Structure 1
Amino acid sequence: MRHPLALTVVTASALLLAACASPPQSEPALTADAGHGQVAGAAEVSEPPLHLLTATADGRLTLLDLLSEETSSLGRIDAPLATATDGRYLFADTGDGIEIVDSGMWTWDHVDHFHYYRAEPRLLEKVPGHGTARTATTISSTTGGTGIFFADGEAVLLDTEALSQGEVVELFRVRMPEHDGYIVPVGDHALVTTGEGTVQVRDSDGALHGDSVPCADPAGTLTTRVGAILGCRDDVLLAVATDAGTAIERIALPDGVAAPRAWANREGRPTAAGLSPDGSIVLLDTRERTATAVPAPRPLIAVTAVDDASEHVLGLTVDGRMSVIDGATGAELALTEPLVAASLAAGRTPTLIADDRRAYLNGITERVLFEIDFADAGRIARTFTTTDEPAFIAETGR
């Protein structure tokens, strides 16, 4: 059931965010050319329509425009347990399905240039399922698929193009053995974990393609500019869409370094960062097919790769600071004051997000959204005070 919500007032400093994206380096096209990402009812705009979409623990939604600093209420969903995003949609796991929130803001990547779109935000039909779920996305909000793996072993591939039209269409739903699994979209195919130490490749109809690929203890997935990654116990699978289907390669981890359980980066870039159980930072370069590790300058909870000219890595420290780290050496370049210490003390873990210009951190207990200029010694560029606790956050329009 959808419930109306009164407007949440957010205040901020007068500084405005410069949000133009830098042209990416040349990579294989990951999206279809038709329509340049255009969707009926959407308006093309001249710059990325960057927004922060927040959800409270009981499902109240607010959208903050980072250019105008205006906020709007999007209503309410069932209480989320965890969320995922592809830069347009918020996928909220409620324990009995996935709620989908379309922010109406997205960037279409044409490799050598971008197109930017705005449309009316909306709440889409819930995807039913049993138990908690993991959602895996691509870097396209208008093509390909979106994967949802439920705790009871059901793997669902959604049609992302249909989502962009406001429709929830399941390309396939297959039953696997119950396990902590993944379904990872790759072009017109998807990787599906079997619960038996292997990964299958299935097409958009659910049909099997080729033999299963070994992958013990799968954990952590992300789509980079090159392809989709899925972590295994001893290495990382890189799946790349080709004319013939899906090509799978293995990227070895550094000797003696345990596999990270999660990966994060500035959306669409080729490098991803993960935090090894031993505390070191693992950088996975999917363009070069290499993985390197550097020691963390201090104990961290999470990391994300900015993948810019300075090879910045951002880390959330155990005492609630944001650390700016040299990805080549592990040296700490900047450190903020404790921003989210109260949230961590209360057992609540904020989300650290990076784009090409800024980082964002949600102070849940603090009821503050922080915008940080990581390239300027970790300067706090803006703060946005929220009426409600922003338990979950996603940056959309990128």
Structure 2
Amino acid sequence: MTVTTRPRARYLALLGVLPLALAACSGGSESGNSEPTEETTAEETAAAPTEEASVSPRIVITYDGGLQVLDATTLERISDIPLDGFNRLNAAGDGRHVLVSTTGGFQVLDAGTWAEPHGDHGHYYTADPVLTDVVFAAEMPGHAVAHEGRIALFDDGTGHIVVQDSDTVGEGVADDARELTLPEAHHGVAVELMDGSLLVTDGNEDERSGVRVLDADGEEIAATDDCPGVHGEATAADEAVVIGCEDGVVIYADGELTKVDSPDEYGRIGNQAGSEASPIVLGDYKVDPDAELERPTRVSLIDTRTGELELVDLPSSYTFRSIARGDDGEALVLGTDGSLHVIDPESGELVRSIEIMDEWEESVVWQDPRPAIRVLDGTAYVTDPATNEIHAVDIETGEVWNTASLEVTPNEIAIASGDLPHEHAEGEHEEGHADEEDEHAHEEDEHAHEDGESGEGHEGHDHDEHGHEDE
């Protein structure tokens, strides 16, 4: 692996600040000092921890034949884990675990980086990454949505949903997990909000157009069937949720579902990215229902306060793995022109375009590798399968501050922040790393059950029910 590194001040600042906090503690955590016992799990035994001076974020990538775990600062490879099949990734929302959608369900990967609160600061640990034996059983593991310390797993093959605390995924289905099975199986999604309300999609393999909201007791409190081709979700500021449709979106806010129509008769929004720092959701936008592969050059901005939908023209097309959000709510689109386009979500203005790689063209086969983007702490991590490289880009300055050559062709990407949960992290250190990659912003891409797909799904499936690629 060839690595070119340009250290950033924020990481250097962390290295200087956190040792003072660690020195103020008497002794390490129990996990750092305890010897394995008969009760110690296999995961705990394999992941003997080392205490670190600062947070140690890690990147997980898939390739044909396995997974690799990289150091997010140096981009050096930490681990290579063989795993057959077309595997997909979902960050669990706890800063440590990644759910691998694979044969049999959501298998838990311990990325080997985590934090433990200690008074007014945290202790940070690393260990060897481990693909554990813990699997959340699913016939067709689909969307996994992490939000405010909870994770909702959706089985497209059965319509079964499991919701539990993100920090319990390493133990499997929790005793107090919230479980329900929808009347009909379909490619769907679920997201739980802080008041216990649960948004679920409604439909079957042939047609889906419903959105239902259940309260904490499971009683329906809001519903609509006016969302044809319902797909994907994103959560914005004040827990406003946007669900995509083939003719617009549905917004859930203040206890009500509101339909927002696209300006075109067919204006499909199926991949969304939200941010708790912004009331505006970024979405894709497609207008040709018959296209085998549409290459859109416009994105949508949905204002959850007003219900307004604005379209923004871009210098190039993009794909289902192209959209993300910055820490301050910036709308980010990775274009096929090789540039990262930064949009002000309030004005819709294209603020800057950051050249990263050569121009590229996506394959018609949606499972084939294509550039992907994830964001953590002001950095956009961008993969380039054409050159087997990964780039670290400072969103604010536009500097590509690190590039590494990989020994494999990267496909999917997820981030384990290694940081404290959100409620502990505020004020913890200067940069306040996000818990996971922006857990409200996740690309969506859809697959067709009847199209001969093996069933490996993910928080972003974009392959429509007619068998067309719909990134």
Q: Which residue of 1 aligns with 2:192?
A: 185
Q: Which residue of 2 aligns with 1:258?
A: 267
Q: Which residue of 1 aligns with 2:316?
A: 298
Structure 1 segment 111-190 matched on structure 2, within 5 A: 118=125, 120=127, 121-124=129-132, 125-131=134-140, 133-140=141-148, 143-150=149-156, 152-161=157-166, 163-164=168-169, 166-169=171-174, 170-187=177-194, 188-190=196-198
Q: Which residue of 2 aligns with 1:13?
A: 4
- Conserved? CA contact 1:320–1:344, under 8 Å: no
CA separation of 1:237 and 1:353: change in aligned 2, threshold 3 A: same
Stretch of structure 1 that moved more, 158-167 or 387-396? 158-167
Q: CA deviation at 1:76?
A: 3.9
Q: Which residue of 2 aligns with 1:229?
A: 242
Q: Which residue of 2 aligns with 1:395?
A: 415
CA separation of 1:351 and 1:283: change in aligned 2, threshold 3 A: same
Cα shift readout 1:161-201 (whole Å, capped 9, x = no counterpart):
46255333353141432322222222334222220532233
Whole-angstrom CA distance in 2 between matches of 1:15 and 1:194: 48
* Count of matched residue positions in the alignment of Structure 1 and Structure 2: 355
Higher relative contact order (CA 8 A, sep 6+): 2
- Conserved? CA contact 1:101–1:122, under 8 Å: yes
**Counterpart among 405, 409, 424 of residue 385 in structure 1:** 405
Q: Which residue of 1 aligns with 2:68?
A: 62
Whole-angstrom CA distance in 2 between matches of 1:189 and 1:105: 31
Whole-angstrom CA distance in 1 between matches of 2:250 and 2:9: 36
Q: Which has the larger radius of gyration?
A: 2
Q: Which residue of 2 aligns with 1:284?
A: 302
- Conserved? CA contact 2:247–2:262, under 8 Å: no
- Conserved? CA contact 1:139–1:267, under 8 Å: no
**What is the DSSP-based 3-state SS (H/G/I as helix, E as strand, rest coil) of the residue aligned with 1:163?**
helix
Q: Which runs of 5+ in 1 are unaligned?
A: 1-9, 21-38, 241-245
Whole-angstrom CA distance in 2 between matches of 1:268 and 1:165: 29
CA separation of 1:392 and 1:211: change in aligned 2, threshold 3 A: closer
Taking only aligned residues, the RMSD between alpha carbons, in angstroms, comes to 3.8
TM-score under structure 1 length normalisation: 0.73
Q: CA deviation at 1:248?
A: 3.6
Cα shift readout 1:41-70 (whole Å, capped 9, x = no counterpart):
489988653221112222x22222223555
Q: CA deviation at 1:213?
A: 3.1
Q: Which residue of 2 aligns with 1:28?
A: none
- Conserved? CA contact 1:221–1:229, under 8 Å: yes
- Conserved? CA contact 1:340–1:363, under 8 Å: no
- Conserved? CA contact 1:363–1:369, under 8 Å: yes
CA separation of 1:189 and 1:45: change in aligned 2, threshold 3 A: farther
Whole-angstrom CA distance in 2 between matches of 1:199 and 1:183: 10
Whole-angstrom CA distance in 2 between matches of 1:199 and 1:384: 43
- Conserved? CA contact 1:155–1:176, under 8 Å: no
- Conserved? CA contact 1:324–1:334, under 8 Å: yes
Q: Which amino acid aligns with 2:147?
A: I
Q: Which amino acid aligns with 2:155?
A: F
Whole-angstrom CA distance in 1 between matches of 2:315 and 2:351: 6
CA separation of 1:281 and 1:114: change in aligned 2, threshold 3 A: farther
- Conserved? CA contact 2:226–2:259, under 8 Å: no
CA separation of 1:298 and 1:367: change in aligned 2, threshold 3 A: closer
Cα shift readout 1:198-238 (whole Å, capped 9, x = no counterpart):
22334567x33335333422112123343233223444334
Structure 1 segment 71-90 matched on structure 2, within 5 A: 71-73=77-79, 75-87=81-93, 88=95, 89-90=97-98
Stretch of structure 1 that moved more, 168-177 or 344-353? 344-353
Q: Which amino acid aligns with 1:123?
A: L
Cα shift readout 1:103-135 (whole Å, capped 9, x = no counterpart):
254689xxxx9978545444341122223x322
Whole-angstrom CA distance in 1 between matches of 2:273 and 2:121: 22
Q: Which amino acid aligns with 2:334?
A: L
Whole-angstrom CA distance in 1 between matches of 2:83 and 2:348: 43
Q: Which runs of 5+ in 2 are unaligned?
A: 12-28, 33-48, 288-295, 418-433, 435-471
- Conserved? CA contact 1:363–1:390, under 8 Å: yes
CA separation of 1:249 and 1:345: change in aligned 2, threshold 3 A: closer
1:371 aligns with 2:382: no
Q: CA deviation at 1:239?
A: 4.0
CA separation of 1:17 and 1:99: change in aligned 2, threshold 3 A: farther
Cα shift readout 1:250-278 (whole Å, capped 9, x = no counterpart):
26255338241101256765443111004
**Counterpart among 336, 343, 350 of residue 355 in structure 2:** 336
**What is the DSSP-based 3-state SS (H/G/I as helix, E as strand, rest coil) of the residue aligned with 2:168?**
helix
Stretch of structure 1 that moved more, 354-363 or 80-89? 80-89
CA separation of 1:337 and 1:171: change in aligned 2, threshold 3 A: closer
CA separation of 1:46 and 1:237: change in aligned 2, threshold 3 A: farther
Q: Which residue of 2 aligns with 1:25?
A: none
Q: Which amino acid aligns with 1:184?
A: V
Whole-angstrom CA distance in 2 between matches of 1:300 and 1:15: 28
CA separation of 1:255 and 1:340: change in aligned 2, threshold 3 A: closer
1:212 aligns with 2:212: no
Whole-angstrom CA distance in 2 between matches of 1:276 and 1:114: 43
Whole-angstrom CA distance in 2 between matches of 1:184 and 1:323: 28
CA separation of 1:299 and 1:156: change in aligned 2, threshold 3 A: same
